[in-house]
Amino acid sequence: MSVETAQTTTHLPQTVEPRNPGMDLDLSWVRSVQANTSAIERRAKTLPGRRSVKKEYQAAWLIRAMQCIDLTTLSGDDTAERVRRLCAKARAPLRRDIAEALGVSNLQTGAICVYHDMIETAVDALKGSGIPVAAVSTGFPAGLSPFHLRIAEIEESVKAGAAEIDIVISRRLVLAGDWQALYDEMRAFRAACGDAHVKAILATGELGTLRNVARASLVCMMAGADFIKTSTGKESVNATLPVSLVMIRAIRDYHERTGYRVGYKPAGGISKAKDALVYLALMKDELGDRWLQPDLFRFGASSLLNDIERQLEHHVTGAYSATYRHALA
């Protein structure tokens, strides 16, 4: 993928991927899943040096990374105006002069992610763009509110116009190895989402072991998750390469057995363009090119966009600009 062909790469194919319907809980499969932590960590350490893309190829990969970002604002002081600015950035994530120099057009991010109260504002600001609004739900970030309220929260967000719902699982169910309860919870969340796609946030930094991460990933997919996501971004440990490798291989195993593709979203702690390149290369190596589309891969990040824009300006001009020259997401 080079900048010479970036005009076509910004017009992504409208692939209609069959949703993962889920399946009956297969406890024998879940319990057979293991994770060799030392081997996983060794493999993860090699990832940054395995692929090196430069010049126009790097620019094209960074453009693709832009298209896979869920621009996010999840702060207690969020305002309607902040959300509208975020939506404007989602519609035009790359400064016009840089985009023109690179020969790209119609570039936009993967989605906007907000709290429930800001859904209608975001939907209105994104009207006509085709950019989906994602809402965090189910007592985000801890997921400890009463179950009926978590279900009601999903239903209200869907009614307000959210096309994607980011739910948080009950971590205690994973830590207790209660896979049936986790499956039932996730199944109920999926049903409440209706036509809205559901991303299952595992909060991997709180699951204790990579084996727990692998098993929780598999159970959520069996229950019908459209995406599995690393973190809320509020934990002390968020997306890491070892965790990503485990989750991606669970996705691969699930696809090989069922034929259904499930998406992946690393979230939290990814703020540099060079890190985005590593994650894209990991997806390509482990899952193939189909998973490099925003319907199957997202970054849960906002500050990442700023650094990508700076790197692309450097590609065009040969000089790095100050961060204030780029509108903050």
Residues annotated as catalytic are 166, 229, 265
Residue 263 region by backbone torsions, left for phi larger than 0, else alpha for psi between -120 and 50, else beta: beta
Quote the tokens at residue 281.
């290369």
CA–CA dist 22, 111 (Å, integer):
24
Unique residue bearing structure tokens 């209608």: 120
Residue 258 region by backbone torsions, left for phi larger than 0, else alpha for psi between -120 and 50, else beta: alpha
Residue 231 identity: S
